Every structure is written in structure tokens, then in C-alpha cells.
Copies of this chain bind each other. A is one copy, B any other.
Amino acid sequence: MIAKSQTRWTDDARTVLRVGEGFRLADVDPNATPGYDGDKVSGKLDLKSGLEQLAEYQERLYAASRGGTATDAVLLVLQAMDSAGKGGVVRHVVGGVDPQGIELAAFKAPTEEELSHDFLWRIEKRLPGAGLIGVFDRSHYEDVLIGRVRRLAEPAEIERRYDAIAEFEQRVADSGTRILKVMLHISPEEQGRRLMERLDRPDKHWKYNPGDVDERAHWDEYQEAYQVALTRTSTDQAPWFVVPANRKWYARLAVQELLLEVLEDIDPQWPAADFDVEGEKARLRATL
């Protein structure tokens, strides 16, 4: 295991953020910083030292699948209301590790071809291979979130999807992929401030979409759709974590910590050489 640097985490992030028995999204305070006894300044320092550990774990994970026979992979699923900070997590948490070890997939509104298949068809194709850390920026959960709120499918079909997701994720987990599902949770007030900032800054205009304001009218329905999805699909093999995200520094730190805890569990090892090291040294020396 890689030595953990001293941080201000007082609890296992997976314990305090986990969606378990009796979970109620409405009870989660988007301003809170559960499990972490520090402020923005210490949070940024801890994020920085965590990046080095994450980078080493990622390299080991990759090496174990290449040189060795390990089939471990990690899949981080990110879901959130608009402007909650998915992009920042990708950039500041995922962006700190070697891009060669990352498989990033951003799921937008499905294309016509994608719509002609089952909703999991396009997801399956983007699952990370062994040794990789896959990151889904939005995911198959859109099909039970916006799908439910905007009635993009019949209620019976939405209903079918929860079980289909659970079975799909079970299979993915059985094949060696640790699934980590994260909802970044902001308040509607915070979203309002962030959207206003996008409108105030010409270099942020391209991130603004007039549809974002329309969606705000459905805030409560989205929260309800999340409540159902989170509680129906948070399983041991593919647990949900709700990360309070009004404070960006905490959200990034918490996602990093969740990833570190999962990688610590896997504890990937440098694979042993499958060739004769001394013999190769002699062969190489003969060419020098």
C-alpha cells in the first residue's frame, strides 16, 4: 500500500457519504464538508498531496494489468445538476493523473443511432478496460433522471431501467471493475449564483445554455428523481455517494478521497518480470 500522507480526513469518506438504508437527499446539506476537519486552504493542500498518491496508484493499476494478469479497473460515474462542478472534478482530480491511464466518456443527449438501441448500449462501449480508470461525465442515469422528469419514456420503461441498471452494474463489477457513483449535490441558490457568473463573464458565455434556466423550474422533480435513483441503485457492488458540492474545494477533495480509498482496497502491485532479468541485462550489455 502507498503510505498515506497526513490529511484532515477524520472519517472514511465512503462511510460518511454513502447512500445507505433510509437515505434522504433532502437531508443532505450542500454546504457541509462531512468527514473533513479542515478549510479551503488545507483542502487545497490535501488535494495536491493526494494527487501524487492517485498518480502512483493509477500507474500501478495500469502496470498490474499490462505486465501482470490483473483485471482490476475503476469506474467513476459523475452525476449532478448543471454547474455543480463535474467539469472541475474531471480537470482537477482526474486531470492530475497520466492521461494514458484514463478513459473519459461524456454522455450528451443520445444520437438517433443510440436511441435505436437499449439505453445501456452506448454505455457498454465506453466501459474502461483492465488497468484503466474510467470516468463517466453523465451516464446511464440520465435515462432515469431527465428521462423521468421530462417523460422521455413511458413510466413502465423507466421502471424497468432501475433493475436493468442494477443487473448491468453487477456484471461489470463481477468482471473486475470497481464502480464508484458520485452525485455532486448543490443547492438551487448556489446554482443560481454560478449561472449568473457565467452570464457576467464573456469568457464563460459559451458554457451558458438558456435551457439551464428552464430546467430550474423542475428542480424539485429532479431531486425526487435523484432520490429514487440513488436509493434504488445504491448496492454493495456499485454504491452511490452524495458529495455536498456548494464548496468546490470540498467536492474535489471528497471525490479524490473516494478514489483513493477504492484504489487502496485494490492495492495494485508492480508486476513481477515475466523474463529473466539478469539474462536480459547481459543481452542488453552486449549491445552497448
Q: Which residues of A contact B (CB under 8 A)?
A: 63, 66-68, 87, 90-91, 94-95, 97-100, 102, 104, 106, 137, 188-189, 192, 195-196, 199, 202-203, 205-208, 210, 213, 216-217, 270-273, 275, 277, 280-281, 283-285, 287-288
Contact = CB atoms under 8 A, between A and B. Distances in A.
Nearest to A214: B283
A217 B104 contact: no
B99 A104 contact: yes
So how many copies of this chain end up in the complex? 2
A208 B275 contact: yes
A215 to B, nearest CB: 10
For the complex of A and B, 8 pairs with smallest distance between CB atoms: A67-B206, A205-B273, A63-B206, A192-B288, A91-B98, A203-B270, A216-B287, A213-B283
Contacts of A98: 87, 90-91, 95
Tell me what chain A mostly uses at the interface: helix, strand, loop, or mixed: helix
25 contacts: A63-B203, A63-B207, A66-B206, A67-B207, A87-B98, A87-B100, A91-B99, A99-B104, A100-B104, A189-B288, A195-B284, A196-B285, A196-B288, A199-B277, A199-B284, A202-B270, A203-B270, A205-B271, A205-B277, A206-B271, A210-B283, A213-B280, A213-B283, A213-B284, A213-B287
A281 B199 CA distance: 7
A196 B273 contact: no
A123 B213 CA distance: 41
Given A90-B98, A98-B91, A99-B95, A208 B273 contact: yes
A44 B21 CA distance: 51
A201 to B, nearest CB: 9
Contacts of A97: 95
